[in-house]
Chains A and B, each alone.
Chain A
């Protein structure tokens, strides 16, 4: 089955700097890659996603890149702010797979705790 590795497990940056979180996946059939942000004591929330027919996607200060050949994808946050401090999870799935609706059964990485220091 799919396996998702996420690095680093913790990341500390100064406000205004960029942050990059990287994930690798094992199943070449995976074609849907979302990123979730979880603030302390809250539910995980989708912040951006990318599908395998796209190499990069941006949404304001957040971008995700995908390299299907190398089977890795990354989250880039520019001009970080204290409110970006949270745990970020990457995930991968086979869209349309059995039981999974449009995004399949998501397999998550173990998370990255991002701390943005003022």
Chain B
């Protein structure tokens, strides 16, 4: 499983509350990503990181922030959750080197905002 885990795997919360999702990896991969998956929209990139404290926005970053204070952890925070952020969130890492790198996904975190 490339040593990548997400937590929590399932969460139900209320509108306006803060939520943090955690992605943890054990193999010292440099690149980490957060995607969200919604029916009819496929997978959309929220934020990504290319090293400790190095992050940048993806396609759908509004309402989300990220932090990476250690190589192994990439946190996704919803400062004030909204119903439109109900989704399945996938963390991903790049495995392999050079031109053979592959995007490998975690098992996903299902978030429901009521």
Partners in one complex: yes
Residues of A within 8 A of B (CB): 1, 6, 34, 42-46, 49, 51, 89, 91, 95, 98-103, 105-111
For the complex of A and B, the 3 pairs showing the least CB-CB separation, nearest first, are A102-B101, A101-B94, A101-B31
CB-CB under 8 A from B94, the residues of chain A are 100-103
Task: Give the CA-CA distance A42 to B90 in the complex, in Å.
Answer: 11
B99 partner, pick from A51, A99, A100, A106, beta carbons under 8 A = A51
CB pair A111–B106 under 8 Å, yes or no, is: no
CB pair B44–A106 under 8 Å, yes or no, is: no
CB pair B108–A105 under 8 Å, yes or no, is: no
Q: How many B residues face the partner with a CB closer than 8 A?
A: 30
**For the complex, is B113 an interface residue (Cβ under 8 Å from A)?**
no
Given A34-B103, A89-B43, A108-B44, 4 new contacts (CB under 8 A) = A103-B94, A103-B103, A105-B45, A109-B42
CB pair B106–A43 under 8 Å, yes or no, is: yes
CB-CB under 8 A from A95, the residues of chain B are 99
**For the complex, is B12 an interface residue (Cβ under 8 Å from A)?**
no
CB-CB under 8 A from A98, the residues of chain B are 50, 56
CB-CB under 8 A from B108, the residues of chain A are 43
CB pair A110–B41 under 8 Å, yes or no, is: yes
CB pair B90–A89 under 8 Å, yes or no, is: no
Q: List 23 A-B contacts (CB under 8 A).
A: A6-B42, A42-B107, A43-B106, A44-B90, A45-B105, A46-B102, A51-B99, A89-B43, A99-B56, A100-B48, A101-B31, A101-B50, A101-B101, A102-B94, A102-B96, A102-B100, A102-B101, A103-B94, A105-B33, A105-B45, A107-B59, A108-B42, A108-B44
CB-CB under 8 A from B53, the residues of chain A are none
Prevailing SS type, chain A contact patch: loop
B33, B101, B104, most chain A CB atoms within 10 A: B101
Q: Looking across the interface, which residue of chain A has its beta carbon closest to that of B56?
A: A99
Task: Give the CA-CA distance A1 to B58 in the complex, in Å.
Answer: 11
B36 to chain A, nearest CB (A): 11
CB pair B101–A106 under 8 Å, yes or no, is: no
